[in-house]
Structure 1
Amino acid sequence: MDHATQVALIRRIQEHLRTDTTHMEAEESRIPMESYLRADRLEAERELLFQRRPLLVAHTSQLPEPGDYLTHDASGLPLLVCRTASGEPTAFLNVCRHRGTRLVEEECGRRKHAFVCPYHGWTYDTEGSLRAVPHETGFPSRPSESVGLVRVSIAERFGLLWAQGRKDSRFAADTFLAPIASELASHGLETHVVFRPQRLELKLNWKLAIEIFLEAYHVRHAHRTSIYPLFIDNVGLMDRLAPHIRCVFPKRTLRDLAGTPEETWRLRPHANILYFIFPNTLMLVQPDHVNVTTVFPLDLDRTDFRTFTLLPEAPLSEKATRHWDKNVDLFMAAVQEDIQMGESIQRGLRSGANASLRLARFEHGLRYFHEAMDQALGVRG
């Protein structure tokens, strides 16, 4: 994030502190309950949001060398992502072109030069080309000359790998990421490494798992003894970088910048910066590391929640490991508190108590999220 943007954001927060206000919309809003309860809505979300748009599937450090690979099924389509001999990332449907067997079962692996189908031994290279067919005389069509794995679109941007499962959809990762590209680039994530990846299954709708991150209203009560002592009560900035959102949650130390030269101001030490990258990625930028979370729907009331921490370098000592473990533990403790609230909401959705969920003027991050979804799904307001 360039210095001018940081100064502008700090000034806005200082004005809210001076006037005892917070960033708000002009009116309240509501989310219809059917957004969380309709099976046909979920199916549309899976296809239009999770299979026809670029999704974050890995960090560069998870595929560091040629032949490194991983599988990714959370979008509803089986993906095989690997790095070719030339060092470029590539992605395919993880499906053999003979009888449709899953080609690779393991979650990840290193320096593999060929993928061999466990059923009949059809063999593919990291470019997806079919290199060997046992007893190929049984196939007069000579598939090894014309059949390869079904390639899907992938791009490596800002140290992150973005893939799109449906090959019949236009892939425009650069256009899609353009509204936040300069800010993502400024954090230098290409040189970071993944630390403590974790995966949870949550008992809530995937949208609730996003919403628990997009407002500061709950921090004082839901996080009273964990992170609330660090933050200012219910003060935050929510800016559309459509279809994405940038949220800034100021810490109490931001008050210390008053009266200091603006050229010395830096936002990261005094606020958490959260980027919501539509439709399902949350990137929490902290002073010296970044937490990355992706969520995927499993069912109307079950969500695949994946998170990892990006460090500037791998910890080289036990002391460094303990330091970073402490940071991750603090983050996950707050996440667990949020999950508890989200799962509580889920249990009440079908009760009939509410026809819609009411959003305060300062809960507009949720409003922006749902408006972006409705637009992508073609839902009329």
Structure 2
Amino acid sequence: MEHAKQVELIHRVLEHLRTGTTHMVEEESRLPVAPYLQPERYEAERRLFRKLPLLVGHASQLAEPGDYLTHDATGTPLLLCRTASGELTCFLNVCRHRGTRLVREEQGRHKQAFVCPYHGWTYDSSGRLRGVPDEVGFPSRPSETVGLVRVPMVERLGLLWVTLEPGGPDVDSFLGPVLGELAGFGLERHVAHQIHRFEKRLNWKIAIEIFLEAYHLKYAHRESIYPIFFNNVGLVDRLPPHIRCIFPKRTIQELAGAPEQGWELRKHANVLFQLFPNVLLLIQPDHVSISTVHPLGPDRTEYRTFWLLPQRPETEKAARYWQKNMDILVGAVMEDMTMGESIQAGLSSGANEFMRLARFEQGLRYFRDELDAYLAQ
């Protein structure tokens, strides 16, 4: 993010603090409850996911030839790897013999060949079938004609994006203005660290919407992160189809009257990019956390997070420092997920036909408007 944009956003926050206000739209609104419950809506959203660029990892997870990563949250088994020539590739993680899952491990390094655990068909990192036991039984000689099925994958700013079906937008046009803002954070120079994954009993949209407002901080996070942030103060801006949220820390008040050339937004606010449809990319003072939300059912969601650090922790002190930061985030997320599961149960009760959104909960409205528009195409 360019410095001029950071200064502009900080000025907006400081003005809200000066006047005791927050960023709001003109009118309150309502969201119907039915889309959080309907199986047919869930199926439509899953189909939409298959046509949009989906974030599946970071290039540092495949740093050297033979490094690989499996990913199943999209509903399609994927195998990401770096070939012997250094190319980043993605395949369906499926043996071409009888459909067995080829690689069971979540991640590995320096793999020279992938061997099917069922009959031993062997593939190299470029997806070519290199060995078929007793191939005399296959007059068609599959080793000469068969390979793993490729899935289109591109790297942008170190982030790896796949598209499962043709017909959707390309990554560059889809990310649009967000690419320019993210470029200044040097994501491609970071290294991925850990993966934290869990499932919760809530609709995936709730798991996104929880993070698009600061109205709940004083109550849901009273003992955890609320002492660091202001309750219900923030900026929520559309970068269609994405959203950028700025949630200021109390330290941002120190910038009032200080020279603008020293202002740095990430030191005094959480900068959250909600990348449509299911990514929450959080810029923090010295690292980045990236969470993806995947629907598993109308009321089941997988939430996974990995962290991007400026360098791998090589000392025990560094490991403790980063672990403390990760524990703070995970703790706050778990508080949010508890509220999210409560929301899902409440919506399922039939008590409400719609949810009421305040003028300062516009992030939820923006997100749902984009989702509804894509589903209508």
Same fold (TM over 0.5): yes
Q: Residue in 2 aligned with 1:344?
A: 342
Matched, 1:276 2:274: yes
The corresponding residue for 1:115 is 114
The whole-number CA distance in structure 2 between the counterparts of 1:138 and 1:309 is 48
- Deviation string, structure 1 residues 263-284 (Cα, Å, up to 9, x no partner): 2211111111001111111011
1:214-293 map, 5 Å: 214-293=212-291
Q: Name the residue aligned to 2:35.
A: 35
8 Å CA contact 1:238, 1:248 repeated in 2: yes
My pick for the range that moved more, 132-141 or 254-263, is 132-141
Contact 1:179 1:244 in 2 (8 A): no
Q: Which amino acid aligns with 2:26?
A: A
Aligned length: 377
1:113 alignment partner, SS class = coil
SS across alignment from 2:51: coil
Residue in 2 that maps onto 1:159? 158
Taking the TM superposition and a 5 Å limit, the aligned residue runs for 1:89-168 are 89-166=88-165, 168=166
TM-score (norm 1): 0.95
Shift of 1:101: 1.6
- Cα deviation, residue 135, structure 1: 3.1
Whole-angstrom distance in 2 between the partners of 1:324 and 1:137: 54
Note the C-alpha offset of 1:155.
Answer: 0.9
Aligned-partner Cα distance in 2 for 1:322–1:139: 55
- Amino acid in the other structure paired with 2:132: V
Once residues 259 and 135 of structure 1 are traced to their aligned partners in structure 2, the CA distance between those partners, rounded to angstroms, is: 77
Say if 1:248 and 1:271, in contact at 8 Å, map to a contact too: yes
Given the superposition, is the C-alpha separation of residues 257 and 244 from structure 1 closer, same or farther in structure 2, using an over 3 Å criterion?
Answer: same
Match of 2:179 in 1: 181
8 Å Cα contact 1:56-1:163 kept in structure 2: yes
Tell me which residue corresponds to 1:191.
189
- Is the 1:239–1:246 contact (alpha carbons within 8 Å) kept by the matching residues of 2? yes
Alpha-carbon contact 1:164-1:171 (below 8 Å) kept: no
Q: Partner amino acid for 1:121?
A: G
Please give the alpha-carbon distance, in whole angstroms, between the structure 1 residues aligned to 2:353 and 2:362: 19
Give the TM-score, by structure 2 length.
0.96
**1:301: Cα distance to partner?**
1.4
| Per-residue deviation, 1:141 | 2.9
Q: Distance in 1 between matches of 2:292 and 2:261?
A: 35
Quote the Cα distance in structure 1 between the aligned partners of 2:51 and 2:85: 27
In the aligned structure 1, how far is the partner of 2:318 from the partner of 2:118? 45
Q: Distance in 1 between matches of 2:202 and 2:261?
A: 45
Counterparts of 1:58-97 in structure 2, within 5 Å, are 58-97=57-96
Aligned partners of 1:371 and 1:144: how far apart in 2? 49
Give the aligned residue type for 1:25.
V
CA distance in 1, matches of 2:168, 2:300: 29
Structure 2 spans left out of the alignment, 5+ residues:
none
Question: Which amino acid counterpart does residue 303 of structure 2 have in structure 1?
Answer: F
Q: Deviations over 1:208-262 (max 9, x none)?
A: 1111111011111111121111112211111111111110001111111111222
| Other-structure match for 1:314 | 312
What is the CA–CA distance in structure 2 between the aligned matches of 1:134 and 1:94, rounded to whole Å? 20
Structure 1 gap ranges (5+):
none
Q: 1:136 to 1:171 in 2, by over 3 A?
A: farther
SS of structure 1 residue aligned to 2:123: strand
Report the alpha carbon displacement of residue 171 of structure 1 after superposing the two structures with TM.
5.9
- Structure 2 distance, partners of 1:124, 1:315, is 34
Cα RMSD after superposing both structures:
1.5
CA distance in 1, matches of 2:199, 2:183: 31
Identity score, percent: 64
Alpha carbons 1:153, 1:171 under 8 Å: kept: no
Q: Separation in 2 of the partners of 1:123 and 1:196?
A: 29
User: 1:177 is aligned with what amino acid?
Assistant: L
Distance 1:153 1:14, change over 3 A: same
Distance 1:254 1:294, change over 3 A: same
Distance between the aligned counterparts of 1:340 and 1:3, measured in 2?
37
SS of residue matched to 1:91? strand
